[in-house]
Amino acid sequence: MLFTVTSTAPPATDLGYLLHKHPDRVQPFNLPFGTAVAFYPEAAEERCTFALQIDIDPIALVRRRDHSSIAGYVNDRPYTAGSMLSVAIGRLLGSALHGRCEARPELVNEPLPLTIHLPAVAARPLRSDGGGAGLVKRLFEPLGWAVAAVPEPFGPTEWGDSPYLDVTLTGTLRLADALSHLYVLLPALDGTKHYYSSSDEVDKLIRRGEGWLATHPERELITRRYLARREWAEDALARLDAVDDLPDDEPERSDPDRPAPLKLQRRDAVFRALREIGARTVADVGCGEGFYLAALLDDPTFTRILGVDVSARELDRAEKRLGLDRRSDQQRARVSLRQSSVTYRDDALTGFDALLLVEVIEHLELNRLDSLEANIFQHAHPQHVIVTTPNGAHNAKYGLAPGEIRHADHRFEWSQDEFAEWAAGVAERRGYTVQLRPVGEVDPEYGPPTQMAIFSLGGAR
């Protein structure tokens, strides 16, 4: 089984930093079902290719499961890119899959011109789903890939084509996104896993599909094919609905020219700001179901993480999303959850490098913003506060009437001028400086869909 990924973004050898595999080394690895070798067939400034060759031990694989038929010994598992390749990606390229690169962190969020080659991909028809090249295109093309899928013949011409395809994917994406696509979609295409499936597969699917599966036009098909049981698929689809229930993002998803949903652009903008200010300890105040907490926990840069929300139900959802019971002791020690309100004084919020208020202030009555200001900027008094909120003027782009808001739970949606006035007043009263930034595509008439303020201590307390 062979998998290659090629980058042509100069210097192309930066691919080695992202993969945590040096271009000058050939590295062998042991896997539960065989061995793997990581190497670079080519490594030049203009073009760099990483290859992962996996040699399956079919006898050892059978011994791990009770097979009484010859099908356990004679099958396509050693050759087909499916669940075994997903496991290898998770184990051997885990840092790249999670978007971590301590040596060159600026590379993580950089889209790269990538070419992925998989010489043998199974795309079997299941139930009423079609198979073959059409299925591969249905799954990968909505994610920004150009797909070439060539059927492999069985042998003699009269036998026809096999269910195996030589697949080449080309596109400009983050490497972490490319690997997450493979991790989920290859087993979904194959429809067969080499290991015993349990309900934990639901959590794995939600975690690995974060940021793209909820908005994929074939998410139901992917979920059904990835999971072995109907009730698991129903659970996963319900959870994807919960992840994807932000009305302010819906207009962004309906525009095919958008590179990513607004929700993801907002997350990326927040993380860029956190890296610029050098934050290591972060509290997400109004954390909801833990969308930002999960991203913070996956990045070892952040050594202390606190999630705060007034809703116990949301904190329960955040705990499930984080999967703390499956995390290492070291990871669990970095994060904690707390039920509290942004408008009440709370000693637990003190001592952090940065506090996040991401799409929070608009859920408060205007007369409660003074309490928020006193609690966050005076009592908690972190080095930095990052605030995002919708730009009300941009609502016209969504076809909303003047004064109409995006979400039923919003109490207000400020224009850029209104937000700037509030932010300047807070900064002046509490000894901070403030920088305003747009988030999302800026319309020349209506401005950005989301606006951000980065507050930094500018004087003595």
Question: CB under 8 Å to 392, separation ≥6 — which residues?
Answer: 405, 412, 413, 414, 415, 418
DSSP conformation letters of 348-360: GGTT-SEEEEES-
d(CA 189, CA 184): 9
Alpha helix ranges (H) inside 64-169: 83-92, 94-97, 132-140
Tokens of 95: 């840092």
Question: CB under 8 Å to 218, separation ≥6 — which residues?
Answer: 138, 139, 142
What is residue 253's predicted lDDT score, i.e. its pLDDT? 40
Are 50 and 40 contacting, i.e. CB atoms less than 8 angstroms apart? Answer: yes
User: CATH topology for 257-457?
Assistant: Rossmann fold (3.40.50)
φ, ψ of residue 79 in degrees (nearest 5): -120, -25
What is residue 157's predicted lDDT score, i.e. its pLDDT? 61
Tokens of 417: 């001028």
What is residue 390's predicted lDDT score, i.e. its pLDDT? 94
d(CA 133, CA 124): 10
Radius of gyration of the chain (CA): 24
Which DSSP letter does residue 447 get? B
Q: Report domain extents, the chain.
A: 2-196, 257-457
Question: CB under 8 Å to 414, separation ≥6 — which residues?
Answer: 362, 389, 390, 391, 392, 422, 451
CB-neighbour burial class of residue 444 (10 A; exposed 0-12, middle 13-18, buried 19+): exposed
Helix (H, G, I), strand (E, B) or coil at 66: coil
Tokens of 315: 């904190």
* CATH code, residues 2-196: 3.30.1610.20
Buried b (16+ CB within 10 A) or exposed e, 317-353: bbbebbbeeeeeeebeebbebeebbbbeebeebeebb
Tokens of 423: 């932010």
Q: Find how far residue 146's CA is from the centre of its chain.
A: 21
Measured on CA atoms in the order 132, 135, 139, 141, is the torsion positive or negative? Answer: positive
CA distances from 279 to 41, 108, 205, 372 (A): 39, 17, 30, 22
Four-point Cα dihedral 317, 318, 321, 326, nearest 10: -110
d(CA 240, CA 106): 29
What is residue 233's predicted lDDT score, i.e. its pLDDT? 62
Tokens of 82: 């499916």
Cis peptide before 11 (omega within 30 of 0): yes
Are 343 and 368 contacting, i.e. CB atoms less than 8 angstroms apart? Answer: yes
Q: Identify which of 292, 287, 210 has the alpha carbon closest to the alpha carbon of residue 243.
A: 210
Question: CB under 8 Å to 376, separation ≥6 — which residues?
Answer: 285, 342, 349, 355, 357, 382, 385
Per-residue pLDDT of the chain (461 residues; tens, 9 = 90+): 899 999 999 999 999 999 999 999 999 988 877 889 999 999 999 999 999 998 887 665 555 554 455 555 555 666 777 778 888 888 899 889 988 888 888 899 899 999 999 998 888 777 666 778 888 998 999 999 999 998 877 666 666 667 789 999 999 999 999 999 999 999 888 876 544 455 567 777 877 888 888 888 888 888 888 886 666 566 566 556 544 444 334 443 434 444 567 888 899 999 999 999 999 999 999 998 899 999 999 899 999 999 999 888 889 888 888 888 778 888 889 999 999 989 889 999 999 999 999 999 999 999 999 999 999 999 999 999 999 999 999 988 876 778 888 776 789 999 999 999 999 999 999 999 999 999 998 999 999 999 999 999 974 43
